[in-house]
A = this chain, B = another copy of it.
Amino acid sequence: MAETLDIDLQAVLDSVLERGLKHMGPGKVAAYIPALARVPAEKLAIAVSCVDGREAFAGDAEEPFSIQSVSKLFTLLMAMKLRDRALWKRVGREPSGNPFNSLVQLEYEKGVPRNPFINAGAHVTTDCIVTDNDDPKQAILEQFRALSGNDSIQFDLEVAASERDHGHWNAAIANFLKANGNLESPVDDVLDAYFHQCSIAMSCRDLARAGLFLSNRGVDVRTGKRIATERKTRRINALMATCGLYDAVGSFAFHVGIPAKSGVGGGIIGVVPGEMTVAVWSPALDANGNSYAGVKMLEAFTNTIGRSIY
Contact = CB atoms under 8 A, between A and B. Distances in A.
Interface of A: 1-3, 92-101, 103-105, 107-109, 114-115, 168-169, 171-173, 175-176, 178-179, 187, 234-235, 237-239, 241-243, 247-251, 253-254, 257, 259, 273-274, 308-310
B238 A257 contact: yes
A254 B274 contact: no
Interface of A is mostly: helix
Contact of A253 (B171, B241, B247, B274): B241
Contact of A310 (B97, B109, B173, B241): B241
Nearest to A306: B230
Contacts of A242: 95, 241-242, 249-250, 253
A98 B97 contact: yes
A101 B176 CA distance: 13
A310 B233 CA distance: 8
A130 B107 CA distance: 29
Contact of A173 (B98, B172, B243, B249): B172
A176 B250 CA distance: 24
A270 to B, nearest CB: 12
A247 B97 CA distance: 10
